[in-house]
Amino acid sequence: MFLTAPSANSDRSPFGDFWFEPVAVRTMSGARVNADTAMRLSAVFRAVWLLSGHIALLPITLKKRGALKKIDKHPLLSLFRKPNAWQNGMEWRQMLQGHLMLRGNAYNEIIDNARGEITALMPLHPDRVKVEMNPGSTDYRYRVTNQDGTERILARGQVWHLRGLMSNGIVGLSVIECARESMGLGLAAQEYGARFFANDAKPTGGWIKYPGKFADKTARQIFRESVQQAQSDANRGKIMVLDNNMEYHEVGLTNKDSQFLETRKFQISDIARWFGIPPHKMADLERATFSNIEQQALEYVTDSLMIWTEIWEAAIEDALLFDDEELDVDFDFSKLLRGDSQTRANNNQKLVASGIITRNEARADEGREPLPGLDEPLRPLNMVEESDTEDDEEEEDEQEAAPSKGQPDPEGDDGDENARRFQAMLQSNASRLARRIVKTGGPIDSGLVAEALAVTPAQAAAWCAETPVGTPLEDLTASLIALGSQK
């Protein structure tokens, strides 16, 4: 049982791929469509180039499961920077994503050493790989055709297999195969346009009115061939001379009648839909506006790129990492979502002012060198934690109450007002001190009590000795007010 997707290659040499591939299928439009002929359409080439390029340029990061800190050194990161002897990481990932999009599958032979460490990932062309079920088993294996025509069998653990959308759980579906009729229409329209302009932008064909009658079928055929010869190749465009009252009538079909331009425009949006790419990314700005193009760019990331990166991440974690490492693979989208310079500046300013990132981290996002003294996050003056707020309020109130320590003098014109102010401050200090004592839940600091209520250390120590730990908040507050009211 073989499971694969058809494609073709123009290289017909003994070492080419042509002789190992299925014949391309002719579509209803007459065009033969496979992964290679589809790339002749500019929209298909743009879609494959764009998605594969973006997947290749996104940095891959490793993190401990459940943690946020990135791991800088790991054999997998080095492997993805130089996967094999002749490819760098950018070329390798771009090629694999192209295989995924055009053929639905991407294969790599896993090369390891005696210690079981992966030393290289050798790409295998999907047209040379067939997946077959092991005889008498529910498992499968890979049959690889070498360039010299020989075959070899690779076990499932020897191949790193990236799959697109699947219908059987083993091999991915090719977008080209599913969209064959749609892309065949685009190829047919493109070929028609080429023939049209090769004919001096005039419709091919016409008919000649002959008032007489040909002697036989052979005479008719000879006349037709002579007319065609007189108007083809080097004779194209020359004046044709007719005798015997013959009249030439040109076919009046126009490109507007055949909706040629409309068909060409529709094919761009149709192919963009097949690959999940916004039309403006395919240079189709007919319906793009400044109000929605930014949103479409974000949708391209969330609705297309993130799906492909998740396929990569899951495949890497499943086949290239050990389970006991407990690592998560992530593609970093921060560079792709940076926006324009003004938006980045406003965003960095808010993040720095909120203490979310440091000033040197903001400089790193802009590609600038760090500066000394900018590695500590800022703390907004009007936003602190609740516990710190209570401590700060206590310090401020104690500073305000410091000049008024001791009992107020009830004599004088302002005696009543001073007494009211003292009582209000005493209740406020006692209430905050009581909450702090209940929150800590430990032994009561007599020095703190003496300072907060402006009593003598002996009075504070005596009160602490008499007050048990765990006293309810209301009782504790009342007791502190009574202590502070002592003369």
Residue 459 C-beta-side C-alpha neighbours within 13 Å: 16
Last residue within a domain, chosen from 299, 320, 337:
337
Q: What is the pLDDT of residue 36?
A: 84
Instruction: Looking at the structure, tell me whether residues 31 and 147 fall in a common domain.
Output: yes
Q: What is the pLDDT of residue 144?
A: 94
Token pair belonging to 68: 């946020």
Give the SS3 label for residue 142: strand
Instruction: Looking at the structure, tell me whether residues 242 and 173 fall in a common domain.
Output: no
CA dist 176 and 316 (Å) reads 25
Average pLDDT by consecutive 10-residue portion of the chain (487 residues)? Answer: 42 56 60 82 89 93 86 91 94 95 94 90 94 87 91 94 91 86 75 65 62 80 76 63 70 56 74 86 72 77 90 93 89 77 81 87 84 84 56 53 47 66 82 82 80 84 83 84 79
388 in Cβ contact with 402 (< 8 Å): no
Q: What is the pLDDT of residue 118?
A: 92
Residue 351 within a domain: no
What is the DSSP code string of 252-269? ---TTTTTHHHHHHHHHH
Q: What is the pLDDT of residue 24?
A: 57
Instruction: Looking at the structure, tell me whether residues 238 and 286 fall in a common domain.
Output: no
Total domains in the fold of the chain = 3
CA dist 68 and 383 (Å) reads 24
Q: What is the pLDDT of residue 387?
A: 53
Beta bridge partners of 162: 106
Last residue within a domain, chosen from 337, 356, 372:
337
Instruction: Looking at the structure, tell me whether residues 301 and 166 fall in a common domain.
Output: yes
Residue 146 within a domain: yes
CA separation, residue 69 to residues 62, 318, 325, 327, 377 (Å): 9, 21, 15, 11, 17
Q: What is the pLDDT of residue 202?
A: 55
Last residue within a domain, chosen from 250, 274, 306:
250
Give the SS3 label for residue 237: coil
Instruction: Looking at the structure, tell me whether residues 333 and 267 fall in a common domain.
Output: yes
Residue 366 within a domain: no
What is the DSSP code string of 374-410? --SPP--TT---HHHHHHHHHHHHHHHHGGG-S----
Q: What is the pLDDT of residue 122?
A: 95
CA dist 270 and 38 (Å) reads 14
Q: Which amino acid is residue 431, in one-letter code?
A: S
143 in Cβ contact with 130 (< 8 Å): yes
Instruction: Looking at the structure, tell me whether residues 301 and 422 fall in a common domain.
Output: no
Instruction: Looking at the structure, tell me whether residues 44 and 63 fall in a common domain.
Output: yes
Instruction: Looking at the structure, tell me whether residues 223 and 327 fall in a common domain.
Output: no
Instruction: Looking at the structure, tell me whether residues 144 and 284 fall in a common domain.
Output: yes
284 in Cβ contact with 268 (< 8 Å): yes
CA 33, 39, 40: angle at the middle one, nearest 5? 85
Residue 350 within a domain: no
Token pair belonging to 434: 């009581």
127 in Cβ contact with 20 (< 8 Å): yes
Instruction: Looking at the structure, tell me whether residues 315 and 454 fall in a common domain.
Output: no
Each residue's pLDDT tens digit, 180-199: 787 777 777 777 766 666 65
Residue 233 within a domain: yes
Neighbours of 271 (CB within 10 A): 26
Instruction: Looking at the structure, tell me whether residues 41 and 119 fall in a common domain.
Output: yes
Instruction: Looking at the structure, tell me whether residues 419 and 271 fall in a common domain.
Output: no
CA dist 301 and 308 (Å) reads 10
Residue 31 within a domain: yes
330 in Cβ contact with 73 (< 8 Å): no
Q: What is the 8-class DSSP label of residue 108?
A: E
CA dist 450 and 446 (Å) reads 6
CA separation, residue 271 to residues 38, 259, 296, 398 (Å): 11, 18, 16, 73
Residue 151 within a domain: yes
Q: Which domain holds residue 43?
A: 1-205+254-337
CA dist 418 and 167 (Å) reads 85
Residue 278 within a domain: yes
Q: What is the 8-class DSSP label of residue 203?
A: -
